[in-house]
Structure formats: structure tokens, C-alpha cells
């Protein structure tokens, strides 16, 4: 099952990368730019075919993919001068920016679809329900024992157990008060007098039918804890959302992951010194991971002894989060990232506007020879951080710290 998780993650990662390249490809084609190659993978070509002026193919190493648009910058030669009008650099600034942003946009679309689809198909995880997931056997001897989930020295049976409550029952009323979530039910229990007899109305499955049953419990007291105690805890259920709720939930989750991604990127430099420390999980180094760490987490999730809904939820949310992170990271205004190329296009547009206002000729494209050293330096920094994260996830994974 571990290996299956790895396969799922790697296939999803490959799909995400190719979706990124497809975004560039489709928008470039739409604006009439010449795309000469669209390939899955790198290295030697296994198979290819031509459609129009584009070669489509598969290469030997399934580690990503690429699309080739002619004339991307000032150093990119165009073989046939007649094709210059269809080069990337010959198009308007707005069209070039749209093509450059299309890759990250596809990551964002994929993430949104995955999260919304999860809410529609499987449901949203909810632990604020009145369905019982736990019926304890005892009244804990102290508040500390309660928090640790143990009885301690107590041999007193829990009121819920004595009343006959069962895991799977759904509480619909407490002392005649209708309840629809755990917050309401918990408040009613705690506010009831200790030692009083409470009525609990539940829906219970009997022979594939739901029956309404009313039970009675004498509420107890846990030393050191305020309020009455009954000995129940909610189940976590998956509730299928309406289309509108799925969209709003996906939007909220997207915003949370995006802000978290921004924080993770900002914390990355400070995280490096803590990546190999014993307390990594409690530092900035615990909030960032590599492709290896994400694949390992997917494998662990698939192999975990939990329900299939939890596995699917975890994997889909992880893949969505990674796509949001990649999309956001890719738009940083740093070369060789797409965001860096967007910044160059904007700078070219600003220079042209100022030149026009001053009655001077358009200075043209940015001289790539001047920015190549910066681009290479940033690329090496990205490689450095990537390698450090992979090594840390191999020798000091967060999930195994302290074991």
C-alpha cells in the first residue's frame, strides 16, 4: 500500500506538470504563437508525431515535460525569419503575460476542482455532529485522566454506558431540547446539574431502519472539571455538500492554503538550519517538505488503517495543496520562474511607455545576457533548497521525529 501511495503521488505530480505546460501551450496557440514541441518527460525521445507545426511526443524520463514556443527572449534564435511574427517576443505584453501566467492558473484550477469535487463526491469532514463515535466505559478519576482518555483509579461506570447509548447513535434531543451539532449538545450536558437524570433522544439503526429511542442517564462529575459529565464523544462524518457549499468551501480552503504557502516560502530560509534538528517539527522546518516527503506522506496515508474516505480526503487535499504551492511559487518575480519572465515583460512595457513619452525609440527586449547570471544564481539557490529538503525528509522526517 505504501508503494501504491507513491505511484498515486508521482502520477498526480506528472499530471500537474503537464497541465502546467498545457496551460502555456493552449494560450500560446490561441494567440497565434508557434509552438514547435510539446513533450511529456525528458531525455531520449521514445515516440513522437507531428500535427501541423508542432511535434508531440514522449521522452524516456517521466520527470516532467515541456512546451517549446519560439522566440521566448532576445537570445532565442528563430530558424526562419518568416516565423518571427509568430514568436513569443513579437506579441503584445498582455498576451505574453497571459501565456506566462497560464501555467500557474492551471495549477490553481486543478486544486480548486479537486477540493470542490471532494466536497461533492465524498463530503466535508465534520466532527461537530451529534452522531456518537465514542461511548466511554468509566467516569475518569480526574480531569487529567479525562484529557488522556483513561479511567485512572475510577471504577465508576459512565452515565452513557449505563443508559445504553451506542456508538453510531445520533442524538436529536437532550432533556427535550432539540440539538443539531456537538456544540449545542456539549453545552446542554455541562450546564445540567450533576446527579440529575437527563433524557437523551437518539436515532438508532435497527434492521436497516432508523428508530427514535429515548434513554435516561444520571449525570456524573469528573473531579477538577466544571459541569456535568456523561461520557460520549462525537463521530467524524463526511457530509456531502451542495454545489454552492462545495464552491465556497473550496474557495475558503484555497485561501487558507495560499496564505500558508506564502508563509512557508517566507519561512524557507530560516527553516534550513532546523531541517536536521531533533525539534524540526516545532520549527519553521516542520512546515515545509520536499517532493520526497510529500510522496512518503501519500504512501503512509494510503497504507494507514483508516476508512477509505479519510485516505481519499488526505491524498486529494495534499495534491491540491501542492498544486497551489507550486502555482504560487512559480509566480514569484524571480528568474527563471514564470513570474520572473512576467516581471521582464512588465519592465519592457514600462520602458517602452517612458520612451514614447520622451519621444525616443522603443528600447526593445531586455538583454538576456545581462540577466542570465542572476537567473542562474537563483536557479542554483532553488536547487540547493530542494536538495536540502529532500535530504531532510529522508534522514529526519517530521512524521518520525521523537520515535
Tens of pLDDT, residues 306-346: 788 889 999 999 999 999 999 999 999 998 899 999 999 99
Range 374-388 average pLDDT: 90
Alpha-carbon span 199 to 134, nearest angstrom: 18
Alpha-carbon span 314 to 258, nearest angstrom: 17
Tens of pLDDT, residues 218-267: 999 999 888 999 999 998 888 899 999 999 999 999 999 999 888 878 87
Dihedrals φ, ψ of 155, to 5°? -120, 10
Beta bridge partners of 2: none
Residues with a known catalytic role: 21
In 170-286, beta strands by DSSP E:
170-174, 177-178, 197-206, 209-218, 232-234, 237-239
495543496: which residue's cell?
A: 321
Alpha-carbon span 150 to 85, nearest angstrom: 75
Burial 297-318 (b: 16+ CB within 10 A, else e): bbbebbeeeeeeeebbbbbbbb
Dihedrals φ, ψ of 139, to 5°? -95, 110
For the domain bounded by 132-235, which CATH number is listed? 2.30.42.10
Residues of the chain with pLDDT > 70, as a percent, come to: 97
- Among 182, 213, 180, which Cα is nearest to 199's? 213
Is pLDDT at 117 greater than 50 in this prediction?
Answer: yes
> How distant is the alpha carbon of residue 123 from its chain centre?
16
The pTM score is 0.82
Alpha-carbon span 310 to 258, nearest angstrom: 23
The angle that helices 291-303 and 2-30 make with each other, rounded to 10 degrees, is 130
- Residue extents of the structural domains in the chain: 132-235
H helix intervals, 272-337? 291-303, 308-330
- With beta carbons less than 8 A apart as the criterion, state whether 50 and 39 touch: no
Q: Which residues contact 296 (CB under 8 A, 6 or more apart)?
A: 6, 393, 397, 399
Cell (9 digits) for 164: 445504553
Amino acid at each position: 500500500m505504501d508503494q501504491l501511495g507513491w505511484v498515486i503521488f508521482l502520477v498526480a505530480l506528472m499530471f500537474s506538470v503537464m497541465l502546467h505546460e498545457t496551460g502555456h501551450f493552449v494560450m500560446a496557440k490561441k494567440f497565434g504563437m508557434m509552438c514547435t514541441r510539446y513533450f511529456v518527460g525528458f531525455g531520449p525521445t521514445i515516440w513522437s508525431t507531428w500535427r501541423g507545426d508542432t511535434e508531440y511526443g514522449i521522452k524516456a524520463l517521466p520527470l516532467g515535460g515541456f512546451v517549446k514556443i519560439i522566440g521566448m527572449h532576445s537570445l532565442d534564435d528563430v530558424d526562419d525569419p518568416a516565423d518571427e511574427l509568430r514568436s513569443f517576443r513579437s506579441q503584445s505584453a498582455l498576451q505574453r503575460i497571459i501565456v506566462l501566467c497560464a501555467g500557474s492558473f492551471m495549477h490553481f484550477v486543478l486544486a480548486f476542482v479537486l477540493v470542490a469535487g471532494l466536497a461533492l463526491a465524498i463530503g466535508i469532514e465534520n466532527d461537530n455532529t451529534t452522531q456518537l463515535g465514542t461511548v466511554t466505559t468509566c467516569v475518569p478519576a480526574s480531569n487529567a485522566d479525562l484529557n488522556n482518555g483513561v479511567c485512572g483509579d475510577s471504577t465508576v461506570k459512565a452515565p452513557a454506558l449505563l443508559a445504553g447509548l451506542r456508538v453510531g447513535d445520533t442524538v436529536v434531543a437532550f432533556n427535550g431540547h432539540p440539538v443539531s451539532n456537538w456544540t449545542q449538545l456539549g453545552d446542554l450536558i455541562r450546564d445540567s446539574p450533576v446527579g440529575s437524570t437527563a433524557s437523551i433522544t437518539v436515532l438508532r439503526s435497527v434492521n436497516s431502519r432508523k428508530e427514535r429511542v429515548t434513554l435516561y442517564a444520571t449525570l456524573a462529575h469528573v473531579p477538577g472539571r466544571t459541569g456535568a459529565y456523561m461520557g460520549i464523544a462525537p463521530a467524524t462524518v463526511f457530509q456531502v455538500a451542495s454545489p454552492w457549499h462545495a464552491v465556497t468551501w473550496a474557495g475558503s480552503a484555497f485561501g487558507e492554503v495560499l496564505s500558508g504557502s506564502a508563509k512557508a516560502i517566507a519561512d524557507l530560509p530560516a527553516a534550513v538550519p532546523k531541517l536536521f534538528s531533533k525539534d524540526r517539527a516545532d520549527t519553521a522546518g516542520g512546515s515545509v517538505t520536499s517532493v520526497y516527503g510529500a510522496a512518503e506522506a501519500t504512501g503512509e496515508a494510503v497504507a494507514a488503517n483508516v476508512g477509505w474516505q479519510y485516505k481519499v480526503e488526505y491524498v486529494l487535499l495534499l495534491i491540491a495543496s501542492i498544486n497551489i504551492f507550486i502555482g504560487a511559487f512559480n509566480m514569484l518575480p524571480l528568474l527563471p520562474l514564470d513570474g520572473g519572465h512576467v516581471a521582464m515583460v512588465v519592465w519592457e512595457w514600462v520602458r517602452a511607455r517612458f520612451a514614447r513619452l520622451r519621444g525616443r525609440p522603443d528600447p526593445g527586449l531586455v538583454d538576456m545576457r545581462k540577466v542570465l547570471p542572476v537567473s542562474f544564481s537563483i536557479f542554483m539557490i532553488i536547487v540547493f533548497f530542494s536538495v536540502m529538503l529532500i535530504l531532510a525528509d529522508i534522514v529526519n522526517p517530521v512524521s518520525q521525529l521523537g520515535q
